[in-house]
Amino acid sequence: MDENALRQWLIECFGPIQGEMAWNQVANLPEDIKQQLLQQDPSQLPDPSQVQAMMQAFGASGLGSFSGMQQVVEDGPINVKLAKSLALQQVASAGSDSSVSMVEGQALRSAMSEVNLWLDSATNMNPVEGAAQALTRADWVEGTIDAWAKFAGPVAESMNDALTSVIGERLGDFNGEITGMFAGPVPIPIPEGMNDPKQLLKMFANTSYAMQLGQAAGSMALEVHGSYDQGIALLKNAAGGLVMQNVYDYAKDLELDSREVTAFLALREAAYARLFANVPWLMSRFEALIGKYSRGVTIDLDAMEEQLRDVAAMDPESLSGAVNLTNVGLTDSPEQREAMASIESLLALVEGWVDTVVWRAGMAHLPHIEQLREMTRRERAVGGPAERTFESLIGLELRPKRVREAAQLWESLTLQEGVESRDEKWSHPDLLPQLPAEQKDSNETESKNNEEQAIDWDSELSKLLEEDAESQQNLENSADADVQENADAQDNSAAPEQSQPSEDAEDPEAPENPETPEDPETPEDQAPSQEA
The pLDDT, as a whole number, for residue 416 is: 95
Question: Greater confidence, 329 or 244?
Answer: 244
- Cβ-proximal residues to 469 (8 Å cutoff; 6+ apart), any chain: none
Taking alpha carbons only, the member of 166, 181, 161 closest to residue 311 is 166
Taking alpha carbons only, the member of 380, 396, 383 closest to residue 326 is 396
Look at 63-67, 176-180, 371-375, 437-441 and tell me which has the smallest mean pLDDT.
Answer: 176-180
Is 64:85 a contact under the CB 8 Å cutoff?
Answer: no
Look at 109-123, 157-171, 232-246, 374-388 and tell me which has the smallest mean pLDDT.
Answer: 157-171
Looking at residues 450-477, what average pLDDT do you find? 47
Look at 203-212, 268-277, 420-429, 486-495 and tell me which has the smallest mean pLDDT.
Answer: 486-495
Full-model pTM: 0.68
pLDDT averaged over every residue in the chain = 74
Greatest mean pLDDT among 69-78, 191-200, 347-356, 502-511 lies in 347-356
pLDDT band at 384 (very low <50, low <70, confident <90, very high): low
Looking at residues 328-343, what average pLDDT do you find? 79
The pLDDT, as a whole number, for residue 291 is: 85
Look at 20-24, 154-158, 248-252 and tell me which has the smallest mean pLDDT.
Answer: 20-24
Looking at residues 121-149, what average pLDDT do you find? 94
450 has a pLDDT exceeding 60: no
The pLDDT, as a whole number, for residue 149 is: 86
Structure confidence by residue, pLDDT tens digits, 17-60: 767 777 777 777 677 767 766 777 777 676 777 666 656 655 55
- Beta strand pairing status for 241-243 and 298-299? unpaired
421 has a pLDDT exceeding 90: yes
**Domain boundaries of the chain, sorted by first residue:** 3-45, 58-183+194-311+327-437
Distances in whole angstroms, Cα of residue 62 to Cα of each of 72, 80, 86, 89, 199:
7, 10, 13, 16, 15
259 has a pLDDT exceeding 90: yes
Looking at residues 273-296, what average pLDDT do you find? 91
pLDDT band at 189 (very low <50, low <70, confident <90, very high): very low
Question: Greater confidence, 338 or 477?
Answer: 338
Burial 190-228 (b: 16+ CB within 10 A, else e): beeebbbbebbbbbbbbbbbbbbbbbbbbbbbbbbbbbb
62 has a pLDDT exceeding 60: no
pLDDT band at 415 (very low <50, low <70, confident <90, very high): very high
Looking at residues 347-372, what average pLDDT do you find? 95
Is 390:217 a contact under the CB 8 Å cutoff?
Answer: yes
The pLDDT, as a whole number, for residue 379 is: 85
pLDDT band at 65 (very low <50, low <70, confident <90, very high): low
Question: Greater confidence, 428 or 531?
Answer: 428
- Cβ-proximal residues to 17 (8 Å cutoff; 6+ apart), any chain: none
Structure confidence by residue, pLDDT tens digits, 473-517: 555 565 555 555 555 555 555 444 444 444 444 444 444 444 444
The pLDDT, as a whole number, for residue 480 is: 58
Type of residue at 229: D
The pLDDT, as a whole number, for residue 207 is: 77
pLDDT band at 199 (very low <50, low <70, confident <90, very high): low
